[in-house]
C-alpha cells in the first residue's frame, strides 16, 4: 500500500481529515490538483461545533489567532447603503463577549467554544501547516485525481502530476473531499438530488483597508460582520477576517458591474482593488449515497447548501471527524464491520437536515427581500411604509440565517448501528439548542469547576463517565470494552452540576463526544453493549 487513506481534495474538509488522521497515527496521503491554496474567500465562519472539534484537535487557539480579532462585534445590518442609517441592526456578540457568556453559563445550553470568523484563504494554509507536522501525512499539491478501481483489500487511484504523467496510488480507503463537482462521486455513479441552480450570483473579492474604520452607518461606526443592502439585486457585503478584505454578492448581469455595485454599497468614496469576480449557483443537493465500497464522500462532494445558515463547510468538518476515528478503529483492528457502515447512516441524515435548515434560512431571506419596492428611497409616506415593512419582516426572517445553534449543536444520530437504541428522542430544532444526553447526541458542555470544562477532560478514545458519586460496579463493562481492543478511559465526575444537567449516573461516550449509551445502572449484557458500540454487532443491544 502507498498509504492507508487517500484523501482527494485539500479544502478545509480534506485538510481537517488529514490533520485528525495524523493525530491518530494513521498513514494518509492528500492530493490536490491546485498547485497551492488559493486566495478565494468561499466559507467565512467556523461555527461553535467546528470550533469545539478544532479544540479537541488542539488547533482552536491557532484558528482564533489567525481569524477575526476577538473584540470585533458580529452584528448584522440591513441598510440602503453603508453611509445611511440602517433599516435594521441585529446585534451579535464578539468572540470575547461570547466567551464571557459561556464562562457564566452552568446549564449545558452553550457550546464549549463560540464561533470564529475566518476566511477560507486563511484557514486552508493553517490546516495545511498542521497536516505537514505529522510524519504519517503526505500532501501532494498539483496532483489530479483521474479515476479509481477497487481490489478486495484496496482502492487503486489513477492520478496525474503537473507534468501530466499518470501513476497509480494504492490505498486501503479513499475519501472524496473534492467539492460539488466531485470526480470521485462521479466515478462511483452517485447522483445529487434536490434543488439545483435556484439562482445565480456574482461574487467579488475586494481589498479595501480603509473601509472598516470609516463605516458610517447610524450615528456612530456601524461595525459588524454582514451588510445586506435592500435593493433589487440582493446585494450582500461580508467583512472578511482581516477587516481589510470584503466580499460582495449581487445579482447583476455582467461581472464588470461588480465594481460599481461595491461603490454603490459603500456609499462613500474609498480606494479599493477588485481582486476577483466569479459566478456561483445556489444549490440544495444531497448525494444518494455517501459510500461505495472502500470509497467515501465528505463535505461538498456529498451535500451542497446555500450559504444561508453557514452550515456547508461546518457540516463537512463534522463528516471528517465522524469518519476519522472510524477509519482509525478499522485500520487498527478493533473496529467491527458496522463501524464504517455507520458513517453514511449518521452523516447523511445530518446532511439532509442541514440542507433543510439552509432551505429554511434561504426562504426567510427571500421573504424579507420580497418586501423591496422601487420607492424604498423616496422621502414620502409611501417610501417610509416600504422601509418599515421590509425592516419588520427582516427582523423575523433574517434571524433564521444568523441563529442556527440548534442545527450546529443539537444534531443527534438516529438509527445508527453503533448507538444504543433508546426509543423516542427529542425533536431536532434548527434555531434552539436544548441540552440532552439522549444516545446519539453530542455531550453538552458543562463546567466541573471554574474554568475546568468536562469536554477538556475527555480523551480520544471511548470514555465511561461515572457521575454524581455513583457506586455502580462498572467493572464488567470496562472489561468488555477493553476485550474488544478499543481504547477506554473511566472518569468519575463528582460535580453536582454535571449530574443535574446530564440526568444519568453512567454515560458511555464515543471518541467524537457523541453519546453511545446511558444508564442509571450498569448494562445487563456488557459484552453485548461493547459489541454494539465498537461495530461488531447490531442485535445484542436489545438484551442490555
Q: Which three cell numbers stand for residue 237?
A: 457585503
Q: How far apart are CA 181 and CA 283, in angstroms?
A: 12
Helix axes 337-369, 312-332, angle to 10 degrees: 180
pLDDT digits (tens, 9 = 90+) for 65-80: 999 999 999 999 999 9
Q: How far apart are CA 282 and CA 33, in angstroms?
A: 24
Please name the fold of domain 69-112+199-281+370-409: D-Amino Acid Oxidase; Chain A, domain 2 (3.30.9)
422 has which bridge partners?
Answer: none
Q: How far apart are CA 439 and CA 515, in angstroms?
A: 5
Among the listed residues 83, 32, 371, the one whose alpha carbon sits nearest the alpha carbon of residue 217: 83
- pLDDT score, position 394: 98
Please name the fold of domain 410-543: Glutaredoxin (3.40.30)
The three-state secondary structure class of 133 is coil
Predicted structure pTM score: 0.96
Q: How far apart are CA 355 and CA 323, in angstroms?
A: 20
Among the listed residues 272, 345, 358, the one whose alpha carbon sits nearest the alpha carbon of residue 313: 358
Among the listed residues 536, 535, 533, the one whose alpha carbon sits nearest the alpha carbon of residue 519: 533
**DSSP secondary structure string, 253-274?**
SSTTHHHHHHHHHH-S----EE
- pLDDT score, position 220: 59
- pLDDT score, position 436: 98
Pairs from 518-524 (Cβ < 8 Å, separation ≥ 24): 518/420, 518/422, 518/437, 518/438, 518/439, 521/472, 522/472, 522/473, 522/474, 522/476, 522/477, 523/477
Buried b (16+ CB within 10 A) or exposed e, 241-263: bbbebbbbbbebeeeebbbebbe
What's the CATH class of domain 3-67+118-193+289-340? Answer: alpha beta
Stretches in the chain below the pLDDT threshold 50 = 540-544
CB count within 10 Å of CB 100 equals 13
Mapped to the 3 state alphabet, what secondary structure does 76-92 carry? Answer: EEEECCCCCCCCEEECC
* Burial classification of residue 89, based on how many CB atoms lie within 10 Å of its CB (0-12 exposed, 13-18 middle, 19 or more buried): middle
- pLDDT score, position 222: 78
58: left (phi over 0), alpha (psi -120 to 50) or beta: left
User: At residue 495, what are phi and psi to the nearest 5 degrees?
Assistant: -55, 125
Q: How far apart are CA 307 and CA 405, in angstroms?
A: 15
Domains of the chain by residue range? 3-67+118-193+289-340, 69-112+199-281+370-409, 410-543
Amino acid at each position: 500500500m502507498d498509504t492507508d487513506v487517500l484523501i482527494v481534495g485539500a479544502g478545509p474538509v480534506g485538510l481537517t481529515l488529514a490533520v485528525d488522521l495524523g493525530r491518530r497515527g494513521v498513514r494518509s496521503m492528500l492530493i490536490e490538483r491546485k498547485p497551492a491554496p488559493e486566495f478565494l474567500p468561499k466559507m467565512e465562519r467556523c461555527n461553535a461545533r467546528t470550533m469545539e472539534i478544532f479544540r479537541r484537535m488542539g488547533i482552536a487557539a491557532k484558528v482564533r489567532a489567525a481569524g477575526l480579532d476577538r473584540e470585533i462585534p458580529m452584528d448584522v445590518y440591513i441598510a440602503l447603503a453603508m453611509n445611511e442609517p440602517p433599516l435594521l441592526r441585529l446585534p451579535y456578540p464578539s468572540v470575547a463577549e461570547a466567551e464571557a457568556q459561556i464562562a457564566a453559563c452552568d446549564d449545558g445550553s452553550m457550546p464549549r467554544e463560540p464561533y470564529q470568523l475566518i476566511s477560507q484563504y486563511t484557514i486552508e494554509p493553517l490546516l495545511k501547516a498542521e497536516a505537514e507536522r505529522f510524519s504519517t501525512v503526505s500532501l501532494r499539491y498539483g496532483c489530479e485525481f483521474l479515476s479509481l478501481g477497487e481490489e478486495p483489500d484496496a482502492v487503486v487511484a489513477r492520478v496525474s502530476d503537473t507534468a501530466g504523467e499518470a501513476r497509480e496510488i494504492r490505498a486501503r480507503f479513499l475519501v472524496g473531499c473534492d467539492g460539488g463537482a466531485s470526480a470521485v462521486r462521479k466515478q462511483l455513479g452517485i447522483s445529487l438530488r434536490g434543488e439545483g441552480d435556484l439562482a445565480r450570483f456574482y461574487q467579488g473579492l475586494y481589498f479595501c483597508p480603509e473601509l472598516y474604520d470609516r463605516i458610517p452607518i447610524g450615528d456612530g461606526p456601524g461595525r459588524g460582520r454582514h451588510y445586506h443592502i435592500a435593493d433589487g439585486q440582493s446585494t450582500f457585503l461580508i467583512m472578511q477576517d482581516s477587516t481589510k478584505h470584503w466580499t460582495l454578492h449581487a445579482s447583476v448581469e455582467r461581472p464588470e458591474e461588480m465594481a460599481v455595485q461595491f461603490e454603490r454599497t459603500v456609499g462613500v468614496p474609498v480606494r479599493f482593488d477588485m481582486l476577483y469576480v466569479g459566478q456561483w449557483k445556489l444549490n440544495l443537493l444531497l448525494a444518494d449515497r455517501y459510500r461505495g465500497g472502500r470509497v467515501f464522500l465528505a463535505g461538498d462532494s456529498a451535500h451542497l447548501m446555500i450559504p444561508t445558515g453557514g452550515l456547508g463547510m461546518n457540516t463537512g468538518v463534522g463528516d471528517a471527524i465522524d469518519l476519522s476515528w472510524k477509519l482509525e478503529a478499522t485500520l487498527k483492528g478493533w473496529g467491527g464491520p458496522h463501524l464504517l457502515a455507520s458513517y453514511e447512516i449518521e452523516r447523511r441524515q445530518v446532511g439532509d437536515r442541514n440542507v433543510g435548515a439552509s432551505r429554511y434560512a434561504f426562504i426567510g431571506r427571500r421573504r424579507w427581500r420580497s418586501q423591496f419596492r422601487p420607492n424604498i428611497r423616496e422621502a414620502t409616506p409611501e417610501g417610509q411604509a416600504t422601509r418599515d415593512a421590509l425592516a419588520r419582516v427582516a427582523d423575523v426572517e433574517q434571524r433564521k440565517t444568523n441563529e442556527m445553534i440548534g442545527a450546529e449543536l443539537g444534531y443527534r444520530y438516529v438509527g445508527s448501528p453503533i448507538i444504543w437504541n433508546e426509543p423516542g428522542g427529542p425533536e431536532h430544532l434548527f434555531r434552539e439548542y436544548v441540552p440532552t444526553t439522549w444516545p446519539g447526541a453530542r455531550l453538552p458542555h458543562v463546567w466541573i469547576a471554574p474554568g475546568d470544562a468536562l469536554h477538556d477532560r475527555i480523551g480520544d478514545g471511548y470514555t465511561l463517565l461515572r457521575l454524581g458519586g455513583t457506586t455502580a460496579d462498572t467493572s464488567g463493562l470496562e472489561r468488555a470494552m477493553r476485550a474488544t481492543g478499543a481504547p477506554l478511559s473511566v472518569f468519575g465526575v463528582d460535580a453536582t452540576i454535571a449530574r443535574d444537567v446530564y440526568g444519568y449516573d453512567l454515560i458511555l461516550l464515543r471518541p467524537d463526544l457523541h453519546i453511545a449509551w446511558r444508564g442509571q445502572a450498569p448494562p445487563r449484557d456488557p459484552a453485548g453493549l461493547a459489541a454494539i458500540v465498537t461495530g461488531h454487532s447490531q442485535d445484542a443491544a436489545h438484551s442490555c
